[in-house]
Chain A
Amino acid sequence: MITLEHVDKKYIEHHALKDVSLDFPKNETTVIIGPSGSGKSTLLRAINLLELPEKGHLKFDDLDIDFSQPISSKQQFQLRRKSGMVFQNWNLFPHLTVLQNITEGPRAVLKQSKTVAENAAKKLLELVGLPDTANRYPNQLSGGQQQRISICRALAMQPEYLLLDEPTSALDPELEIQVLRVLKDLAAQKQSMIVVTHNMEFARLVADRIVFFEDGQAIYNGASKAFFDHPEGRIKAFLEAISLESDEAADSNLS
């Protein structure tokens, strides 16, 4: 279980996280949604220590990181071992083949042998439906394929949690579906995930829990069903604002 307690982060001119306390239960998919600039990426990146809040605690199972103290490289390492990150622009290593991209972490960090790492990588490639791409370079793949490879790269480290920051925002709709299907399968296998997304259909179908983020604060944190079935106030306004349908149509669609 990941728990954030009173996490506070200020950029020079912006208060990005305002005393955020949240937990992310294991074996569930939590989807974070909210307006642009509300602090979703900052929150997700803080869980992987890519951003460092000034205050608060990040608890990950028995690990307790106090943001007000300097973080030792050992703590940092232990924490990153437990979670895998998937980026909006996938950030594959361009100079490595698909197979090398996936085996890089296991080999460099876990010191796995080449054979062991490659066998595991090939299984992952099958899982995401790309068994024939092992020897290609990222540059020779479509965006949707690259994103699926980057999910493999993260999974190869066998993380407890998978963190995904808008994994499909840079993709065309039909490529987006390929990636979302992979995530849906992972959710069905009870992989713990935290996903930032603007895709409401995905949130509705896959999320166990929703966190609605606005202006540096979590306004909603709870079951997915209740979020979509009975939206109120700001949440209702947000869902309507991003929907093409009229109010009535949206209502009937949601029920």
Chain B
Amino acid sequence: MLHTIVTSVPELLKAGIQYTIPLALISFFFGLILAVLTAVVKLMPKPGHKLPKLGWRILQAIFAFYVWLFRSTPLLVQLFIIFFGLPNAGIELPAFLAAVVTFSLNTGAYASETIRASISSIPNDQWEAAYTLGMKRPQILMRIIFPQAMRIAIPPLSNSFIGLVKDTSLASSITILEMFTVSQQITAKNYEPLLMYTIVAAIYAIFCSVLTYLQHYLEKRTSKYLSKDGAHH
């Protein structure tokens, strides 16, 4: 048993570092950008000065459709459509890219709701105070609202990220050699499914624990201004 562990763990970790972690990080990065974009489009119902009203509404409808689509279909099915299905429509993506695209779109759809809710939770007073200083909407979002909304968004976004790390195991079904795929391959050779899948589960758990620790650190940092003391810098 010890032998199995000693030989398989390095292999699994290698797959984790090569595929699981990059897949999660890259997808979360793009997912977040997409989420912020979606949330901002959704939250700007005020008559836009730049875009004509109709154009704005169409844009909002597109984003709303996107969120609906990705939240109401299973991730595995999305992965299959993008990797196995799209070639039929002439769009052929390499497995890793297909996974990044799917995970990004999926994460973006969920996280957009988190971000929208956290932006809405900032009292209107803050907008008004910034408006009266003469600040413009994008400036207010960047300088006043986002920094405060972030504190509220961190716990649910961490949830999404941890979920994403585990969901990367679905990429095994589209030929990507991430950790779970590798654990299956090793099992096929040593016939020790209980041990192998327990080991891989433990590695996922370790990854996610590190993320939880990171979440607590970020929460503390972004809540610094709420403490009654020790905020001098």
Name A's B-contacting residues (CB within 8 A): 48, 50, 72-73, 77, 80-81, 83-85, 87, 89, 91-96, 104-105, 108-109, 135-140, 153-154, 157
Contacts and interface: CB of A to CB of B under 8 A. Distances in A.
Contacts of A50: 128, 131-132
Contacts of A108: 133, 135, 139, 143
B189 interface: no
Interface residues of B, number: 27
B73 to A, nearest CB: 38
Interface stretch (B89-97, B154-162, B163-171, B221-229): B221-229
Nearest to A107: B143
Given A87-B128, A91-B126, A153 B133 contact: yes
A137 B125 contact: no
Given A50-B128, A73-B49, A95-B148, 19 more contacts: A50-B132, A80-B133, A84-B133, A87-B125, A89-B125, A91-B129, A92-B129, A94-B225, A108-B133, A108-B139, A109-B135, A135-B232, A136-B232, A137-B224, A137-B226, A139-B226, A139-B228, A157-B133, A157-B134
29 contacts: A48-B132, A50-B132, A72-B49, A73-B49, A73-B136, A80-B131, A83-B132, A84-B133, A85-B129, A87-B125, A87-B129, A89-B125, A91-B126, A91-B129, A92-B129, A94-B148, A94-B225, A94-B226, A95-B147, A95-B151, A104-B130, A108-B133, A108-B135, A109-B135, A136-B232, A137-B224, A140-B229, A154-B132, A157-B133
B126 A93 contact: yes
Given A95-B148, A108-B135, A137 B129 contact: no
Contacts of B143: 104, 108
What are the nearest 8 A-B pairs in CB distance?
A105-B133, A85-B132, A91-B129, A109-B134, A137-B225, A91-B125, A80-B134, A95-B147
A245 B225 CA distance: 45
Contacts of A96: 225
A139 B225 contact: yes
A96 B132 CA distance: 17
